[in-house]
Copies of this chain bind each other. A is one copy, B any other.
């Protein structure tokens, strides 16, 4: 219920804003790294989609009014991975990409039927124990090879599979 705190948006206000302006998001690709920093695994959240099928997704959420981007990243990582995931929020705010989700299909590879969202995307190494809460069933770790395969990425909603491949390219783990 964090997102309806007074001073932020009610559900109606959010609906109204969504129809009028781009909504700022952050997205995180949770990874395990070895001592040399190389990515060894990528974490994907499993959930149940509206049609009852299993979905895979990245950590994602809105930036609130008067919230810093790095605080929003930490909040959504804690929400999705639990309180002891120990995420390492990047020292620089330079994202590896900016993903633009449009309510209209085909403007970009990203799509969100609810809104026009613009998302700052970061790689976030996590070192602790991940215990998803909220809507997620589980967090599953994939090798970079598995994560890059169409079997994994093609099912991800809204273009998250494209964002995942961009993340893997950025860390040098696509073949």
Residues of A at under 8 Å CB distance from B?
A: 7-9, 13, 16-17, 19-24, 31, 33, 35-39, 62-71, 73-74, 88-98, 100, 102-104, 107-109, 116, 118, 120, 123, 125, 162, 165-166, 168-172, 174-175
Contact = CB atoms under 8 A, between A and B. Distances in A.
A171 B92 contact: yes
| Chain A interface, >50% SS class | loop
Given A19-B65, A36-B71, A97-B169, 14 more contacts: A7-B20, A13-B16, A20-B65, A21-B65, A24-B24, A36-B70, A37-B89, A39-B91, A66-B102, A69-B98, A69-B118, A94-B170, A95-B98, A97-B172
Contacts of A92: 96-97, 123, 170-172
Q: Report the copy number of this chain in the oligomer.
A: 4
Contact of A22 (B35, B36, B65): B65
A116 B174 contact: no
A170 B170 contact: yes
A94 B91 contact: no
A172 B93 contact: yes
Contacts of A65: 19-22, 116
A165 B24 CA distance: 25
Contact of A9 (B21, B37, B62, B91): B21
